[in-house]
């Protein structure tokens, strides 16, 4: 006998599976247009549920003839600041707080491992995969822009450099 209830459940499961696939397949192509600037693939890698700090990565593309500056980062889920990782004179990896980042005209600036990143400390609750987090980027010319960072689970081997801060 034709069972409408089972058909309906099957349809719902198919739709959610499809939505899940879409989310996954587009995650690397995630781009946000902010007027003069484009933010590519803002993401926060997570390695487990016990993280007290996290880092945010993305690339800012400036296709215009005017430079801008990232002067502040803000979020509700943690304290946020701009950091830059570097290797000190003793060969140890350290990081320093950066007040602002120049985004030169017709170029791009990558926030990536072992370089610039947004440092999130004092996380209010554990970050969870697929629970995107809103972060406000404040640019000198463009102003305040809130964007969503995708929280992505990664293996600690691929992003080992950030586990200790
Ligand atoms: Cu850092």
Ligand 1 (ion): residues with CB under 5 Å are 83, 95, 119
Q: 85 alpha carbon to ligand 1 midpoint, in Å?
A: 7
Model pTM score: 0.77
In CATH terms, the superfamily for domain 31-164 is PCu(A)C copper chaperone (2.60.40.1890)
Residue 35 DSSP symbol:
T
Q: Nearest to residue 111, comparing CAs of 95, 90, 92, 127? A: 95
Q: Is 145 exposed, middle or buried (0-12, 13-18, 19+ CB in 10 A)?
A: middle
Average pLDDT, the chain: 86
Whether residue 116 has pLDDT greater than 70: yes
Q: 140 alpha carbon to ligand 1 midpoint, in Å?
A: 22
Domain boundaries, the chain: 31-164
Percent of the chain with pLDDT over 70: 82
């Amino acid at each position: 006998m034709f069972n409408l209830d089972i058909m309906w459940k099957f349809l719902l499961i198919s739709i959610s599976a499809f939505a899940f696939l879409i989310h996954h397949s587009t995650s690397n192509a995630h781009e946000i247009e902010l007027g003069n600037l484009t933010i590519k693939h803002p993401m926060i890698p997570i390695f487990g549920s016990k993280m007290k700090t996290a880092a945010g990565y993305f690339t800012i593309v400036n296709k215009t003839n005017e430079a801008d500056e990232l002067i502040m980062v803000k979020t509700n889920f943690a304290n946020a600041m701009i950091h830059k990782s570097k290797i000190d004179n003793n060969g140890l990896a350290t990081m320093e707080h950066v007040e602002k980042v120049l985004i030169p005209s017709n170029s791009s600036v990558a926030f990536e491992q072992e370089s610039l990143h947004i440092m999130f400390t004092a996380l209010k609750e554990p970050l969870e995969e697929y629970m995107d987090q809103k972060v406000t980027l404040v640019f000198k010319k463009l102003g305040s822009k809130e964007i969503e960072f995708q929280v992505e689970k990664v293996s600690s081997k691929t992003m080992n450099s950030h586990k200790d801060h």
